[in-house]
């Protein structure tokens, strides 16, 4: 079965994207990547220092992975564009995850500035994946701005609370023609499976893996859950019913 996800002209077999932040030890990242099966790895540009004599996050990311630098720390579109261009100049490729956050309490994305940054970078040939509050009109504006995919949050960053925005994400999946990648708030493999069962194209998980007692095993668990959720979706999940319905016939017994 050919069920690959295509973004920016690149086909991906694995629909789990992972991050590189919060790990207790960067040395486990290669094994986490391996067990996750992920080929798209996001990272904050501020963690990359090519001139540092200390360890560099790029040293731990397998070369066959697609780097997805994010613009973490940007508070407006101009700052996000500047970070994206720096990432490209440093050899991180032309994929970029737009994060524009000026809210210090809930860390919610600024949708307006995100649209502006997406439009500017898409015009310059970047493969833009914007992180956004799930809103249909905003998603449509991001499509028009040139986004390659949109990344609605499931819950605020790092909360592990799951799909608190489930119904809003469902609307995006139904109405938007580019991939919907659920990002932020996914705390359990079951959350990831649920997102995939709904029809999300992929999920991005960082905190739930990095802060688990055993990140390597948790990465494997998420890998399996994403595959299971996707398989359930394309198998056409049976509809829910209001009343009980026996699996076996209740009439026609032999003694009748």
> Which positions are catalytic?
97
DSSP state of 60: G
Task: Of 128, 168, 132, 175, give the one whose Cα is nearest residue 153.
Answer: 132
Contacts by residues 73-78 (CB-CB < 8 Å, ≥ 24 positions apart): 73/44, 73/46, 74/98, 74/99, 74/100, 74/101, 74/117, 75/100, 75/101, 75/102, 75/110, 75/113, 76/100, 76/102, 76/110, 76/113, 77/113, 77/114, 77/116, 77/117, 77/120
DSSP state of 180: B
> Which tokens sit at 219?
């990465």
- State residue 58 phi and psi, 5-degree precision: -65, -25
Task: Of 40, 61, 67, give the one whose Cα is nearest residue 205.
Answer: 40
Query: Other CB atoms closer than 10 Å to residue 106's CB: what's the count?
Result: 9
Q: Are 39 and 63 in contact (CB under 8 A)?
A: no
> Which tokens sit at 33?
């990547």
Q: Are 175 and 204 in contact (CB under 8 A)?
A: no
- Rounded CA-CA distance 33/214 in Å is 13
Residue 5: in which H helix or E strand, if any?
strand 5-7
């Amino acid at each position: 079965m050919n069920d690959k996800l295509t973004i920016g002209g690149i086909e991906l077999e694995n629909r789990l994207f992972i991050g590189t932040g919060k790990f207790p030890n960067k040395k486990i990242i290669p094994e986490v990547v391996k067990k996750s099966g992920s080929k798209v790895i996001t990272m904050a540009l501020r963690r990359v220092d090519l001139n540092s004599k200390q360890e560099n996050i790029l040293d731990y990311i397998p070369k066959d992975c697609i780097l997805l630098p994010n613009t973490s720390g940007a508070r407006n579109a101009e700052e996000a564009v500047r970070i994206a261009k720096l990432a490209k100049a440093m050899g991180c490729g032309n994929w970029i995850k737009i994060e524009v956050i000026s809210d210090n309490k809930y860390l919610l994305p600024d949708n307006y500035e995100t649209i502006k940054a997406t439009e500017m970078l898409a015009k310059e040939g970047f493969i833009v994946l914007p992180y956004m509050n799930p809103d249909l009109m905003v998603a449509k504006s991001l499509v028009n701005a040139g986004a390659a995919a949109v990344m609605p949050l499931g819950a605020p960053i790092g909360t592990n609370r799951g799909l608190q925005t489930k119904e809003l994400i469902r609307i995006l999946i139904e109405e938007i023609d580019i991939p919907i990648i659920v990002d932020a708030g996914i705390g359990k493999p079951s959350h990831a499976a649920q997102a995939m069962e709904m029809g999300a194209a992929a999920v991005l998980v960082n905190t739930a893996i990095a802060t688990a007692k055993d990140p390597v095993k948790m990465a494997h668990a998420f890998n399996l859950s994403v595959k299971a959720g996707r398989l359930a979706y394309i198998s056409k999940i049976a509809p829910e019913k209001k009343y009980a319905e026996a699996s076996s016939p209740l009439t026609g017994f032999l003694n009748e």
